[in-house]
Amino acid sequence: MNFDETACYICAKCTSGCPTAAYDPTFKPHVIVARSKVDHENLLEEENLWSCVLCKRCERRCPQNVSPLLIVTELKNESYKHCKDHVPKGFEVLIKLVKDTGLASREETIITADFDEFEREDLGLPPIPDINTKVITKALTELGFFDKICEESRSTSTEE
């Protein structure tokens, strides 16, 4: 993954192939790439960064070996670090889940088209193995995942 983020010549091939751009005309990967060099602070306020569906098509189409996806991802990482309001609330649920269970989704009872209900056991599937969540949470803490730099006006609390 050796991308050259300075090589963009704004051909917009990323945007013309972007599935999100097809539905949300305010989301333009080539504009994000261009603005990331000169308008970084304002980009961090862009709520529609989260409309990206992570399909990687922009990266695969780029004739200049730029990854618009990587730029969008880095902007999202920074938004999260700085407690921006636009970070989807769903992430709080995912973070709690990974701390509690080690996985990013909870075991569900599923309902079929005939309204029959099934759990793993009913289907003869073995239980999900025990996961050492203590070790995982400790590592994530030490790696700084829960340290956030929130503006003073907002709550300064960090996860944990």
- Locate tokens 């000169």: which residue? 38
| Smallest distance from other proteins to CB 87, Å | 8
**What amino acid is encoded at 96 in this protein?**
K
From the list 38, 62, 67, 65, the residue with the least C-alpha distance to 52 is 67
Q: Cα–Cα distance between 159 and 149 in angstroms, integer?
A: 11
Closer residue to other proteins in complex, CB, 38/115: 115
Among positions 100-159, residues that touch other proteins (CB under 8 A) are 102-108, 110, 112-113, 116, 118, 120, 123, 125, 128-129, 131-132, 135-136, 139-140, 142-145
Which of 11, 39, 45, 88 contacts other proteins by CB under 8 A? 88
Q: Cα–Cα distance between 36 and 39 in angstroms, integer?
A: 6
Q: Which residues of 114-139 are buried (b: 16+ CB within 10 A; e: fewer)?
A: eeeeeeeeeeeeeeeeeeeeeeebee
Q: Where along the sequence are the contacts to other proteins (CB under 8 A)?
A: 1-2, 19-20, 23-24, 50-57, 59-60, 62, 65, 73, 76-77, 80-81, 87-88, 90-91, 94-95, 98, 102-108, 110, 112-113, 116, 118, 120, 123, 125, 128-129, 131-132, 135-136, 139-140, 142-145
